[in-house]
Structure formats: C-alpha cells, structure tokens
Structure 1
Amino acid sequence: MATTESITVPEGFVVHRENSAHILLPATDGGKEAFLNPVQEFNRDLSVASIRVWSEEADRAKEARWKAKLEAKNKSNGTEGKGRRGKKRKVNEESENVANGEHPVEDAKENEASSSKIVEEPAQAEDAMAVDAGEPAPKVNSDDTLATTEAGVLDETKKTPKYYPQKFVLLEALSATGLRSIRYAKEIPLVKYVIANDLSASAVDAIKRNVDINGLGAPAEAPPPIDPPPSTDAVGDGKAEVEVQDAPKRKQVPKAKVQINEGDACSLMYSHRPEKLRVDCVDLDPYGTAAPFIDAAVQCVSDGGLLCVTCTDMSVLATNNYPEKCFSNYGGIPVKAEYCHEAALRLVLHTISTSAGRYGRYIHPLVSLSIDFYVRLFVRINSAPIEVKRAASKTSTYYVCSGCQSSYEQPLGKIVEKTSEKSGQVNLLYRQRAGPPVGDKCPECESVLHVAGPMWSGPIHDVDFVSKVLEHVDGNTGNYGTATRMKGMLTVAKEELQTPFYFTPSRIAGLFHTISPSLEEVSNALLHAGHSVSRSHALAGSLKTTATRQDVHDIFRSWVKSHPVKQEKISSTSPSHFLHAKEPRFEANFSHHPQTATHSSKVKLVRYQQNPTSHWGPGTKAASGAKRKRGDGEDKS
C-alpha cells in the first residue's frame, strides 16, 4: 500500500488529481469500473464556475429582497399609533423597554425576521438528510411563530436580524467516479450538500471510496450519552430535596457533504418532484444523450433553479445521418450544414423547453456551448404560465438549402399586441404564423430545400451572466486548470450575436469558385453595409451577422468583380452558376471599419481544444458493474 502525500493508495489503484479533488482509479481495469474522461476537465471547470456564479447571484438577489422586506416592515412599524393616545402609549412602552435594556428599533427588525416570508425563493429539499448541523436552529416565539425566515435569523446577542447565506442542494444524477460531485462540494462555497447518484454498483463503490479519501463522507457516529450522575440529598428545612442533573444530550452528527445514492436516475429525480422536496441544481452528464432524463430533471428543479445538461451524441445532433433518431430523442430534425453544431444546441434547448412547458415552466438559457465532441448547456428553470405561452414564438423550423446552405426561418408562433380603444390597455394575443417563408427552391441558387427543426430560435446565452462568469474566472485563474481556454470561449460567447447560425467566408468563396477574402475583409464589408458582426464559439473561422444570406452573397459578388472567376469552367446546372448570374444590389466596401476589431480578436485567446493526447475524444463506454435494466450511470463524471 503506497502513500502519496496524505493519501494512502491501496495496491492496484492510482491517484488521479484534478484541481482540489483527488480520486482513486483502478490501475488495470481500463475504465470498466466507472467512466472518466480527463479531456472533459474543461467541462467540469466550466460547470464549477457557472454553478458558483449562479448560486452567488441568486443569494445576492435573496439578500436584497430580504433587506427590502425588513426595511418596509420597519417603516410600517414607525407609522403605527399616530393618535395622541397611541403616541403616548408608544413613548411609555419605549421608555419601559429601554429601562429593561430592550431596543424598540431592533425589536421591530426581530418581528420582521419572524414574520416575513420570501415567496419567490427556490424551495430547499426538506428530507431527513437535508439537515445541516452547522446552520442555526430556528427560534420559536411565544405566539408559535418561527423567529427565522428563509433568508435570515435573529442574532440572540444583538437582538437584530442577521442574514445567513442561502445554501443550495445539487443533484448529480449520473455520477460515475464521483469526481464532479466532489469538486462541486469542495469548490462551490454555497453548496449545502451534493447528491451523487449512479445505477451501477461498481460505480457507487468507486464514489464511496473517492468521497471518503476527500473527507466528504459522513463522520463517525457520536458516542451514546453517558449515564446521569447519582442523586444527592440537600438538607434544608428537614425535607430531602433531590437534585438530578440532566443527562448530556447526544451531539447532532453533521451529514455528509456528498450523499451517495444507488438507483435509477429518473426514479430519484421523480421522487423530488413535490415542491418541498425539489433541489436547486441538477446536473445531467450521461454517456450519449441526456434526452431520457430531461423530463424528470425539469420537474425536480426548484423555481429559479439551474439545470446543467451535456449531450455527446453529436453524430445524431449535428449530422443528417440519423434524422429519425434525432427526432425520437429531441423532437426535431437536424441540420446538414456547416452550422450544424449551433443547430445541435438549439435542438437540445427545444427539448428542454417543451418538457418544461408541460408543467407550466419555462427556460432561460444562461450559457449554451458547443465544445469539441459534445454540447454543454446551463439553463434556469422557472414557473409562469404566461411565459410558457411565449415558447411558440421562440421556436422555429428552418428551410435549409442543400446547395448554398442558406437558411429561411419559419417561427411557429407570434405575439400580437392589441390596444383597447376605451381603456388603452395593451393585451397580448398569441397567434400562429403564416408561411412558408420561401418557395420550393432556394431563391439564391435554385437548389432543393430541406426542412430542419423545430428548434429553439431565441437567445442561447445570457450576456450578463456570461460576463459574470468571465469576471469570476479572471479573478480565480489559479483555481481552474483550463482557465485560459475558459476565458477565450466565454469571451467569444459574450460577444456572440443572438441571431441563429453562422457562416465561414471560405465556404462561400468555394461556392463562388473564388479566392477567399479574410475574416476582417468580410467583417468590414458587412459593417459598412450597416449590419452587425461577431464571431461564433462553435466553429473556427466563422462569422455571425444580422445580414441575410442574400446580403452576404452580394458582398461576395462584389468581391468577384475584383477577383475574376473563369465562368467557362462553371457548370450551368451548379449552384455557383446561379449565384454568379445575379448582380449585387450594392457595392461592398472592404476597407477598414473601426468596429471590426472586437475584444476577442485583440487578445490572444485559446477558443478551441488542442489535442491533449493521441486518439482523444468521447472515450469508450464503461462496462456495467452489475446486472441492471439499463446503464444510465455511465457518464463522464
């Protein structure tokens, strides 16, 4: 048995370290016990940073609401007893209170802390294992009201209400080695506890072993209370008085920071569907598709809670090889075009949105990234029927040209504002859209159109949230092994336009059979034409713009005039022939535009994965550790 620093390594195991966590892996099983892909350290780093920022922002919002309620209560108490008798009574009461060492202003805050309730907060899980011995126990007043709120509790020494940070519960449904859960428990300060679940018996054994060596398991039970001391007779007025001291009470044993569960992921999440049992954050990171777990996940997340989803089945999401499989998993048809990776993100968001809508819930995407061989999404879940009605207007099908890859959007719904002539009140009407937006053939190149979707057509990032995550990473670079790449990808995501889909100048230049202009030259022409431009995080050398594909083609038609093409070598039936046949509607200006240089182009950023090892990629699925109905515990941890 070897020893590495303070870790005792059993024979046949090796230590794998990642940031603050260290786990034991069998030295010879080749990943059969539980799956771990070291390449996905970037996924885990990004998850720690995003969940931490989300929890801190939610806590700040709760504290602000708690202070506002406390201030409102104090003001209302200050206006009571306006009459002469009331004022006299109030002065007498205050004088008496001060004489007794009490402070009326602080007592008003105490009453506020005992009676206020913040109804917008996400509910915490309230099962037996949710008790945190380190948190203050609620006080009970004489009128049977709790002297604590969801956010604050009385400080007994100062008699003033005090705000306590809101801890949250995180559920990792598919934990494998437990590395991700361990990092969450150790690196996110506001985590109350993490539920690490897996269906595989061997994976659960690995989780227990790794949780214990990181000091996150349940401590040893407290010893039983000692017997009470013998009674003593105190002789006073001739009567014997028996004084028996109370027996010391057993100390409450703190619960494990990582609580391990062996079972089906969906069954576990469905058991947390009741509002009082919901968890605040759910992480789905399966080997392959997360589709079977999304319905259960959106139901067990509390209002304002966070859902984190990874899907690695990019052969289904980002190609047209298995459209029937994509439809069965995600309810949409994939895109066969160079922007297929962004379409994959939008297909997964569509699945989450429709699943949430069945239960009167809606989604707010915070960060949605296409990374290497998978997609990773962070989505906030809320309940509001009025917002569910807007989902159709954020969902679209697309007609994608098989020749020039132009896309034509067909939203499923629209919102119409109707103002009443009498009252002037504005009512929102939800209607279906007219269509289709295009004919049988592509108007640009006369090629056949293919239908893709339906998929999410709304924003895929929250710019403010991405900015806060980026700020956090900038201030904690040493805490993340992939901080350099995190900065690069988050910077590009922050600047990225919210319009669907991107293009690469080299691809369009190939359609025109001309030399390709640079990214800067294309950006200059688009900006001079009055359009916005950004990069896309999903593909190197790509651009996003508010211009139509026809506008982009007109820029290349202008480019061809100064970079002639041999038309005789172009077939009369090819898409290129039809693209060249049209005259540009404007003359493109390729000279420098002051807005061309964005922040991401000014600094050296690592936005795309460098090959860490030979033959790197998704890895091989772990073998089942026991006979199970399905292996839903095999993930990338």
Structure 2
Amino acid sequence: MQIDNQITTITEGKTQILIPRGALEQKVPPRDIAFFNPRAKLSRDFSIIVYSTFLKNFEGQKLFLDGLSGLGARGLRVANEIPGTEVFVNDLNPSALELSKKSAEINNLANYQVSKNDICQFFNAFSKKGSRGAIVDIDPFGSPAKYIDCGIRATVHKGMLSVSATDLQVLHGLFKDACKKKYHGIPVKTAYSNEISIRLILGLTISVAARLDVEATPMFVETNQHYYRVYLRILNKPDTRDQIGYIAHCKNCGNRRATSESISSCELCSSTIELAGPLWIGKLFDKDFVAQMIQNIPDYVDKKCEKAIQKALLESEMPACYYTLDEIAERLKSAPIPLDQIISRLQQNGFSASPTSFNPTGFRTNSKIDKIKEIFSA
C-alpha cells in the first residue's frame, strides 16, 4: 500500500499504527493533522491487559466501542491483540479516520470499523438492548464529564466502562470552581493529589450511573504522567451503596482519612480540616480482578505495567490516602528512609502497610501520621 512521506509507521504492542510525522515531532500538533499522543503508550498497554482479562470471563458479544478514537491506536490494538473482539471506533476528524482504516488494512483486521459522528450520537446508536458494548471507552482531550451519561447507556449489563481525564490542573485544584462544575466536587492540593483526582473522576461517574439506576464499580485505576484512567464494571441495578464522601486533610499535622461526613477539625491536632469532595471513598481496585491481570500480562507490554499491577494488588485492600517518604521526611526535617524499611517497620508495629501504584515513594497504611512519624524516626 502506498503511504506518503508525511506519514510514518510505528509499532505499539503487536500492532502497526500509521501516524502523521507532525504528531510525533511537534509538542503541540497542528490542527490540520490527526492527534496522537505517544506518551500514552503505557496507558494503552494497561488497557490491553485490563480489557483482555475482563473479556476472558465475559459472556456475550465482545464489542468494543471507542467514542473519541483519534488515529484509533487503542481500538487497533484491541482488534489486533485481543482475539474475538469486534471493534467500532468513532471520531469527527476525517483524516484521522482515513489513517485509522489504512492502519487496519496493514494489520489485516476484518474486525475493525470506523464511524464519523458526534460521540454521543455514536454511543446512542449502540444504546438499545442487544447492541450495547462489552467495553465502552471514553478518552477525551480534557474532561470526560459531558460524555459519561451516553457512555453508560451504551455499556451492556456486566460490561466495562473505561474513562480517562487529562484536565489535571482542574483536578489538582488550580481551578476549583471549574472542578466543582465538571466533577461535582472540589480537590485539595496535597502530596497525593493524583489519588484525590481519581476519586473525583470515580465520584462523578458512579453518581451519574446511580442516577440512571446503574451500579458502577471500580475494577482498576491508573495514573500515568498527565493521564488518569478508571475502569468500572457496569451492572443494570439500583446502586444502594453509600460510598460518596470526602477526603479530610489537615495541612497542619498531615493527618488524612476518608469520611462519609463533612467534618471541620482534625482528630489529632484540632486544626481546621480541608475537605476534598464529594468523591468516591470506596475501593479503587477489585483484588480478584487485579490478581487475574497479573496472570494475563503479555510479554510485549511495558515492564512498568507489571510493577504497577503488583503494587495495585498489594494496596487493593488498604485505606484511602497514601503517604510519601519525602512528605514524612520534610515534616521531620530528616532524610528519607528506604520504602521497604518504613513498610517493614509499620508491619512490625502491628499496622498494615503496602507500597502504592500511585507514587514510586508512596505507601499506604492504617496507621495515623503521628505514629508513622514516630516509627519513621525510630
């Protein structure tokens, strides 16, 4: 097949993808070429592991719907690397879709179809009983907020909804009013802002689902540089859980916890508390599902994925709100100690403790910060 010299071919996973050179060479791609983010490869690797694990136990048509596909990198990889899938990708950029189709041809994919439509009109076409997707993917530039409703409607009972966000300045608290409007909650700037961000995304998605008499449960989440993503199982039944609440954070002593109530003062130092939320305060990982993911990691994906998934398994039953070594060391005005050392010391003192996939120097524990500081400096 003839490809012009402005187009290059990359291989991601086991899949060849045609990319405009400008999308790879320029930090801000021109508007007239299709957008592609090479830094999101790690996130696409995670997706392949999550989706293939999920579909192994899924009964029914393995239909994958990507509402904002760009050049189709994720959909192409699903079609090529996960057997038995039927993939429909959608975008409004005709040049992106044209390249996407050519990529499908060079990978000899007969299970890959493209659509040029508004995302919600695309999802609406699959929202009737018998035509819904086993996996529905929402991957916007910025916030996914306005697409979640139609994404849920297009997801089959016992299917999976996958949602990403890249508006991290909003989620991290630079624009609190914008965050409240988009995610129905406000953040607090902390050392664990990426966890608060993930919980805000989940809080919005789960609340929208509940309004539709749908229960959405987190299976796996990932934070990768400027890219946050959540994966939820969808069940067509009313959501009777009470897991929307707040993260209470004390700037004075560093104490933190998830709470279902709006509290005002710190239980350790009585200082005024800052509240992040409303947001999801339940589990971020389904332990059994993450264990299955570990058994299902292809050889060709980035090794960082395996390390992150191993950590996710260890932290899957742990409390909300991780700590970092630097944060504790700074409060104590001392040098950090190794991560395995603080985890070991906490466990020896009768606390549960684990590393976290959210931060390479982060750890989770059921200990309060006063005891952590005492153990840290012992």
Q: TM-score, normalised by structure 2?
A: 0.91
Distance in 2 separating the partners of 1:552 and 1:28:
49
Which amino acid is 1:343 matched to?
I
Aligned residue in 2 for 1:538: 358
Aligned residue in 2 for 1:207: 100
Give the 3 Å change call, closer, same or farther, for CA 11–271 of structure 1 in structure 2. same
Aligned residue in 1 for 2:276: 452
RMSD: 2.1
> Equivalent residues in 2 for 1:386-535 (5 A)?
388-390=239-241, 393-411=242-260, 436-437=262-263, 439=265, 442-445=266-269, 447-473=271-297, 476-477=298-299, 479-480=300-301, 482=302, 484-496=303-315, 497-535=317-355
Distance in 1 separating the partners of 2:344 and 2:46:
33
Aligned residue in 1 for 2:367: 547
Cα drift, residue 401 of structure 1 = 1.4
- 3-state DSSP class of the match of 2:295? helix
1:372-417 CA distance string (max 9 Å, x none): 22112211100122xx111xx2111133212233224331xxxxxx
Which of residues 129, 133, 137 in structure 2 aligns to 1:283?
137
The answer to whether the 8 A contact 2:88-2:115 is kept is yes
Distance in 1 separating the partners of 2:66 and 2:346:
45
Give the 3 Å change call, closer, same or farther, for CA 445–490 of structure 1 in structure 2. same
The answer to whether the 8 A contact 1:460-1:498 is kept is no
Which of residues 194, 197, 203 in structure 2 aligns to 1:344?
197
Distance in 2 separating the partners of 1:320 and 1:23:
36
Distance in 1 separating the partners of 2:13 and 2:336:
43
- 3-state DSSP class of the match of 2:319? coil
The answer to whether the 8 A contact 1:366-1:460 is kept is yes
Aligned residue in 1 for 2:187: 334
Distance in 1 separating the partners of 2:373 and 2:264:
17
The answer to whether the 8 A contact 1:458-1:498 is kept is no
Distance in 1 separating the partners of 2:264 and 2:154:
41
Cα drift, residue 436 of structure 1 = 5.0
Cα drift, residue 28 of structure 1 = 5.0
Distance in 2 separating the partners of 1:470 and 1:376:
18
Aligned residue in 2 for 1:375: 228
Distance in 2 separating the partners of 1:52 and 1:505:
35
Cα drift, residue 486 of structure 1 = 1.3
> Equivalent residues in 2 for 1:216-255 (5 A)?
216=109
Which of residues 147, 150, 153 in structure 2 aligns to 1:299?
153
Which amino acid is 2:221 matched to?
S
Distance in 2 separating the partners of 1:44 and 1:376:
10
Which of residues 118, 121, 125 in structure 2 aligns to 1:271?
125
Distance in 1 separating the partners of 2:320 and 2:256:
9
- 3-state DSSP class of the match of 1:174? coil
Give the 3 Å change call, closer, same or farther, for CA 520–215 of structure 1 in structure 2. closer
Distance in 2 separating the partners of 1:498 and 1:261:
42
- 3-state DSSP class of the match of 1:405? coil
Aligned residue in 2 for 1:593: none
2:74 is equivalent to residue 180 of structure 1? yes
Distance in 2 separating the partners of 1:197 and 1:49:
22
Larger radius of gyration: 1
Aligned residue in 2 for 1:581: none
Aligned residue in 2 for 1:62: none
Which amino acid is 1:347 matched to?
L
1:118-157 CA distance string (max 9 Å, x none): xxxxxxxxxxxxxxxxxxxxxxxxxxxxxxxxxxxxxxxx
Distance in 1 separating the partners of 2:257 and 2:357:
22
The answer to whether the 8 A contact 1:408-1:437 is kept is no
Q: Percent identity?
A: 27
Cα drift, residue 328 of structure 1 = 1.2
Cα drift, residue 309 of structure 1 = 1.4
The answer to whether the 8 A contact 2:196-2:276 is kept is no
Aligned residue in 1 for 2:207: 354
The answer to whether the 8 A contact 2:257-2:320 is kept is no
Give the 3 Å change call, closer, same or farther, for CA 515–188 of structure 1 in structure 2. closer
The answer to whether the 8 A contact 1:284-1:293 is kept is yes
Cα drift, residue 438 of structure 1 = 5.1
